[in-house]
Amino acid sequence: MKVALLPYLVESRAPHQNLERLKALLSRVSASLAVAPELALTGYGSLEKTPSSLEFAELESLVRKKRISLLLGHPVLGKEGLRNGAWLIDSEGAQVVAEKAALFPGLDLEEGFNPGDRREIFELEEGLCGGVLLCYEIRFPEFARQLVARGAQVIFVLAQWPVARVEHLRTLARARAVENQVFVVVVGALGKARNIPLAGLALVFSPSGEVLLELREREGVFEIDLRPEALVKARNLFNTSAVPPPSSPEKKIRLLPDLLQEVKRRRALGHRLVFTNGCFDLLHAGHVSYLYEARALGDFLVVGLNSDASVRRLKGPERPINPEGERARVLASLASVDYVVLFEEDTPEALIRALQPDVLVKGEDWPEEKIVGATLVKSYGGKVVRIPFRYRVSTTALIQRLRRGLRS
């Protein structure tokens, strides 16, 4: 299939000019798919002047008239706030195909973007499927790996990448192509992002890591043919597209001395520790949602788990339903949980003192003044976060329902 890469000058605070520039480039496209940079119409620093829905509709109309598809970076506004996103526009309309999950420090958050969680696989011509990474996300191999494991054969990287680190992008793009045996297509804006010069890249690597196209700091329409047989050739001897099996849950269950050493190593890398605690007797949807949201607040999540003796003192002689070893293993099987550590005391205060988390999390039913460890965590600059309940369910209620069922 033929793809057109459209690196061009994206000006902050000039959405109309950006739109006109993109339309002019699209008029020259002969490929079936055109690809524009990250924040292709807005740039950074101009979100208060985001193009109106009328202007976006004008772009949709042009795409339909030319009978092509357009992939471009553009903000997404939803109930969860503003996201740095990617849109695919074709004859059927416009759809969001990606939201930036890894926000660039000092830029995306300051622009008002929240981390996104959408990453779709979309069909292309000749049986190919694509997925999108947004700029900084190419530095995280797992994002590309997840796309490929779901069927992506072309990874599009929409970027506003600085000239000063352009060799990083080239190296990362080639690595993502070789390690996943897929095409990697990079389109970067020209201009400046907060006064930082941008590289303006059009870069394509084959599934074997060969350079198929490489242009820097040039505006224009650069078309290239992506041949599906290159995928077959790259995977003829071996196939690295599958995701390796997950680690054993037991490896996440740690004794405190061992966990402290692990935390020390991760802190040396600048990772932020999130901590929460509970009995987690009968794991339910409320627990899963809560732990997922907690993990998103930092770089790794430690769950303090009440021992059996601790649960009996808190809940009575009939609890826990499940013994501590089984509760720990179930928790450790969740992708959102990085470590589980048992504690014997009635409260996790000693555990919190030892770990000194950057973020302490409890449910919204706990007033902050009653959260064990809240004062301590705030004393050294940490945060205390109360997460709202997404599901109105509890272990106690589940047990009562089971008992009613047994009696009926």
pLDDT tens-place string over residues 135-174: 999 999 999 999 999 999 999 999 999 999 999 999 999 9
pLDDT at 188: 97
pLDDT band per the 50, 70, 90 thresholds, residue 302:
very high
The token pair that represents 380 in the structure block? 């050294």
211 and 320 assigned to the same domain: no
pLDDT at 258 over 60: yes
Tell me which of 205, 234, 263 is where a domain ends: 234
253 and 209 assigned to the same domain: no
Tell me which of 199, 234, 269 is where a domain ends: 234
**CATH code: domain of residue 163:** 3.60.110.10
Give the lowest-confidence range in 64-73, 151-160, 282-291: 282-291
Average pLDDT over residues 15-30: 93
pLDDT at 263 over 90: yes
Average pLDDT over residues 193-212: 95
By percentage, how much of the chain surpasses pLDDT 90? 76
276 and 315 assigned to the same domain: yes
Are 117 and 99 a contacting pair, CB within 8 Å?
yes
Q: Is there a domain that residue 87 lies in?
A: yes
Split into its structural domains, the chain has a count of 2
pLDDT at 47: 58
Mean pLDDT for the chain?
92
pLDDT at 99: 97
Strands (E), 106-169: 122-123, 129-134, 154-159
Are 51 and 44 a contacting pair, CB within 8 Å?
no
Q: CA angle, corner 212, sides to 210 and 218, nearest 5?
A: 130
State pTM to two decimals. 0.83
pLDDT at 371: 94
pLDDT band per the 50, 70, 90 thresholds, residue 80:
confident
Q: Is there a domain that residue 242 lies in?
A: no
pLDDT at 405: 64
pLDDT at 46: 59
Half-sphere exposure of 221 (CA within 13 A, CB side): 18
pLDDT at 249 over 90: yes
Identify the sign of the CA torsion 280, 283, 287, 288: positive
How far is the C-alpha of 80 from the C-alpha of 238, rounded, in Å? 42
Q: Is there a domain that residue 333 lies in?
A: yes
374 lies in which domain range? 249-407
- For residues 219-233, one letter each, b for 16 or more C-beta atoms within 10 angstroms of the residue's C-beta and e for the rest, the string is bebbbbebebebbee
